[in-house]
Structure 1
Amino acid sequence: MSKEAVLQLRNVTKKIGGRTIVDNLTFDVPKGEVFGFLGPNGAGKTTTIRMIVGLISMTKGEVLVKGISVRSHFEMAMTHIGAIVENPEMYKFLTGYQNLVLFARRHIGVTKERINEVVKLVGLQTRIHEKVKRYSLGMRQRLGVAQALLHKPSVLIFDEPTNGLDPAGIRELRDYLRALAQQEGIAIIVSSHLLSEMELMCDRIAIIQAGKLIDVRSMSELKRSAGRQQVEIEVDDPERTMEYLAAMLPDLNVGVRNGVLAVTAERGQIPELNRKLVMADIEVYGIRTVDVSLEDQFLELTRGEQVV
């Protein structure tokens, strides 16, 4: 990885009562990147985040923040992390500004200038002196982001940050997070089960299922792959044909579904596929194509576990 990794997970595992909740997770997140943590509900996303920020212990493994171990130097590591796990908690009877002043006292060196800076950064200048009980959920989310930014962290972590937001609030928060990554050089980790939000927000995505890391891919790579097509080929002997194509073209994803050969391929490969089948004396009764969407790819990667 060309950029400096500010967050590193190495074989992070959590077991509870003999059950493995998170299983040997290993990945890096560099500065300036929005990194998505995607998986169905119950996949282990929140448990992983709680281990990163020290809310629960690891059974084994290591988390490093700017090279500092969360296990052995917890307080030092946490000076580099800002996080909102679930909904941001604020004192509703106080103003937004008063809340930030209280949070600032938890950290050394947070000045009034820094408070004003983060207020401007999240766009709350005109409402910051109103009581939080008058804030919309979207505004409370933005105040939570401001609070998490006060001590100039290198890593920001958000667990399901769009829960409860309307479409305008989701878009607003998404734009803020992308701007923070680009302008402040902060590594941002966002967990979600919403593929559509990850697609618009993230530079890379880690896919987790049943506590295991399935894959880490860049959004640009996924979008290029989405141009592929699923080719359904009706042949006389699908099983034999699958074995033949797997041997002849090992890079293709080939399977049999409902008695029909299913091949993931580029459009330009389809005529060559047909020629090879005919030359192998395989009877071809029909060929049809279906575009492969990003959602199709995730369903394929998670072996049918629905990610929506």
Structure 2
Amino acid sequence: MPQQPVVQLRNVTKRIHGKTIVDRLTFDVPKGEVFGFLGPNGAGKTTTIRMMVGLISMSEGEVLVNGISVNKQFERAMKHVGAIVENPELYKFLTGYQNLIHFARMIPGISRDRIDEVVELVKLENRIHDKVKTYSLGMRQRLGVAQAILHKPDVLILDEPTNGLDPEGIRELRDYLRRLANEEGTAVVVSSHLLSEMELMCDRVAIIQSGKLVDVRQVRDLVGAEEGAVRVTFVAEPARLAADVAARAMPGADVSAQPGGFAASLGYEDIPELVRLLVQADVRVYGVKAASKTLEDQFLEMTRGGRIV
């Protein structure tokens, strides 16, 4: 049974000086999903995120959080939202813990136990009592996420959270966003210019171009095998014998010999059968790799090579 959407965009539109920046965007984000938001330069990605958190108004349409309209009941809707747009704003002369205490005072009902819980969740236990001015950018991002989730929001919205992070920081961010979704059931909406990271982080991605929604797809569908035949590379010895066996066993597979093996166009269901036939023919099979398109390949096809911001 599908999860009830936590976030719903319905025909969200933004016009500035008669120019349409975002054009009737409609999509849903359910509980416990990491949802990626991708778009070429000038596609309206950041404008959409700003409308979702009420930083700018919509020309038309509606954003609902748990069924509550951001337009009509802003304060009620924002009680269910945590967000970092661009960089987290923190008090650098205070410790990380003092920052969280300060933010906790703004929202009734946040206990010390909850503060300790989010500190552990973002893995800042060893540095939480140090001043923020001594933190790396990655640690500040983690503290920003901790601040954003103090009140147990149903949705966490992050605009370009990987900006300025080193590879270790990016991996840490990816890991605890996945943990938030899996352990706390938080819906996470994240934009990023690093497609390889979105591929690892997200369950689904929405792609927009020129303010319009191109598609919303499961990441596993985007990067998985295409329907029909895929190009498969076999590492096998003797290479010539391997190629001959494959050509005889799979007519029409477009078998081509390569150093150390061969390549062939096969259906996924044909791969184990061909491996069995190769082994029967005394061919030593060392590896099989099916080519699949990356998220970047798919993105560039959908946007016709548009650049990412």
Matched residue, 1:302: 303
2:115 and 2:139 mapped to 1: Cα distance? 16
Structure 1 residue 42, shift from structure 2 partner: 2.0
- What is the deviation of 1:294? 3.2
5+ long unaligned stretches in structure 1: 232-265, 270-289
Residue 162 of structure 2: aligned partner: 162
1:82 aligns with 2:82: yes
SS of 1:56 mapped into structure 2: coil
Structure 1 residues 150 and 27: alpha-carbon distance in aligned structure 2, compared to 1, 3 A threshold: same
Which sections of structure 2, spanning at least 5 residues, go unmatched?
232-264, 269-290
Provide the residue aligned with 2:4 in structure 1.
4
Matched, 1:65 2:50: no
CA contact (8 A) 2:222 2:294 kept: no
- Render the CA deviation track for 1:80-138: whole Å, top value 9, x for unaligned: 00000000011100000111111111111111111111111111111111000000001
Structure 2 distance, partners of 1:10, 1:84, is: 22
Cα distance in 2 for partners of 1:53, 1:180 equals: 19
Q: Secondary structure at the match of 1:98?
A: helix
CA distance in 1, matches of 2:77, 2:10: 15
Q: 1:95 to 1:208 in 2, by over 3 A?
A: same
- Label 1:229 to 1:84 Cα distance change in 2 as closer, same or farther (>3 A): farther
Percent of aligned pairs sharing the same letter: 71
Tell me, in whole angstroms, the C-alpha distance in 2 between the residues paired with 1:204 and 1:174.
14
Contact 1:226–1:293 (Cα < 8 Å) also in 2: no
Task: Please give the secondary structure, in 1, of the residue aligned with 2:224.
Answer: helix
Structure 1 stretch displaced more, 6-15 or 218-227? 218-227
Whether the 8 Å contact between 1:35 and 1:205 is mirrored in structure 2 is yes
Q: For residue 303 of structure 1, report the CA deviation from its aligned partner.
A: 2.2
Distance in 1 of aligned mates of 2:157 and 2:46:
11
One-letter code aligned to 2:43? A
Q: Secondary structure at the match of 1:207?
A: strand
Check the 8 A contact 2:41/2:306 in 1, yes or no: no
Secondary structure of the residue that 2:32 maps to in structure 1? coil
1:128 aligns with 2:128: yes
Q: CA deviation at 1:195?
A: 1.2
Alignment of 1:127-276 (within 5 A): 127-225=127-225, 267-268=266-267
Distance (Å, rounded) in 2 between the aligned partners of 1:199 and 1:227: 20
Change in CA separation of 1:193 and 1:107 when aligned onto 2, cut-off 3 Å: same
Q: Is the 8 A contact 2:13 2:22 kept in 1?
A: yes
CA spacing shift, 1:267–1:45, aligned 2, 3 Å: same
Distance 2:178 2:150 in 1: 18
Offset at 1:37? Answer: 0.2
What is the TM-score normalised by the length of structure 1?
Answer: 0.78
Aligned partner of 1:104 in structure 2 is: 104
Question: Is the Cα contact below 8 Å between 1:22 and 1:47 reproduced in 2?
Answer: yes
Residues 88 and 140 of structure 2 are in contact (CA less than 8 Å); yes or no, is this contact kept in structure 1? yes
Task: Give the number of equivalent residue pairs.
Answer: 254
- TM norm structure 2: 0.78
Distance 1:123 1:229, change over 3 A: same
The offset of 1:268, in angstroms, is 4.6
Equivalent-residue separation in structure 1 for 2:24 and 2:101 (angstroms): 39
Deviation readout 1:120-169 (Å, 9 max, x if unpaired):
11111111110000000010000000000111100000000000000000
Note closer, same or farther for the CA distance 1:101–1:301 as it changes in structure 2 (3 Å cut). same
Question: What's the Cα RMSD here?
Answer: 2.0
Conserved in 1, the CA contact under 8 Å of 2:37 and 2:191? yes
Residues 130 and 303 of structure 1, relative CA distance in 2, 3 Å threshold: same
